[in-house]
Homo-oligomer: A and B are copies of this chain.
């Protein structure tokens, strides 16, 4: 199989690539070639992936790369490349170009290739939002009416419908998975309005102060990087029948309050670590987050065998295990003690 991952050198993209190389197969067919298309070259943390002889990295804007995909005739595509929510609010044209035009160009290239590739679109829980005639339920479901309140969410929703229609027409075998907010992301904050959901864990674990721009009572559906990657693969491998219709599905969420995230941080890594989180309201971010889901249910993903994490402490422990060099010695020691206590 020849697989394309757009946004392939990004955080989720490279993690997905590593998992695919490790498995070596999708749906029982070998992964012989893995093309990672991204506007940025692979970071040092992805050096192991780039060294793999099956991998080819192509650097450049997705929109400019699409035409060439026609000749590649990929068997499978994970379309992860996207401008993030904060960027799209700040620069309307950038969002339309990066999220809508690029997806359309990608779909047209795959249609032109003519070999009906399997296609997973990474949509987002940001498709949901409240409006005056459509208050948001406490938990958004697969079939909740999406009325997005950001350009990012609007563009994701529009692409879901494009994916459905290209699939209905027989141009691709597409499906859309709505990612929950992925936490804990390593590295530096990005311009996603959701960036703090990682920052308030990652920075304190590194011994650095973190800003919490919203009220601790804010509730939100989150997922770990590992479960998110597992979800993308399961959605890829599912038949259309198992998907249960063409509409997009929610990936599983751990529905958690910010205060519960901080309680878990204290339980895992100690009082001093938690004390590094400083509340400093940011009206812009709080405004965007107020339009987001407080929680999500994922009945159709569960039918594919996917489950959310049981508790937020597991997500913190996963981050510490994956990125020990980014965590202070004292926090690592506290986490080890926490795990020993818990396993008793």
What is the interface of chain A, defined by CB distance below 8 A to chain B? 92, 96, 104, 131-134, 142-145, 147-149, 151, 154, 157-158, 161-162, 164-165, 168-169, 241, 243-247, 300
Contacts and interface: CB of A to CB of B under 8 A. Distances in A.
A247 B165 contact: no
A46 to B, nearest CB: 34
A143 B143 contact: no
A134 B247 contact: yes
A161 B157 contact: yes
Contacts of A145: 143-145, 247
A142 B144 CA distance: 13
B134 A143 contact: yes
B161 A154 contact: yes
19 contacts: A92-B169, A131-B245, A131-B246, A132-B241, A133-B143, A133-B244, A133-B245, A133-B247, A134-B143, A134-B247, A143-B145, A144-B145, A148-B164, A148-B165, A154-B162, A154-B165, A157-B161, A158-B158, A158-B162
Contacts of A168: 149
A147 B143 CA distance: 10
A243 B133 CA distance: 9
Contacts of A143: 133-134, 145
A131 B162 contact: no
A162 B92 CA distance: 12
B147 A164 contact: yes
Nearest to A89: B169
Contacts of A144: 145
A134 B92 contact: no
Contacts of A157: 161
Nearest to A171: B92
Given A132-B245, A154-B161, 14 more contacts: A92-B169, A96-B104, A131-B245, A132-B241, A132-B246, A133-B143, A133-B245, A133-B247, A134-B245, A143-B145, A144-B145, A147-B245, A151-B169, A158-B162
A154 B171 CA distance: 15
Contacts of A132: 241, 244-246
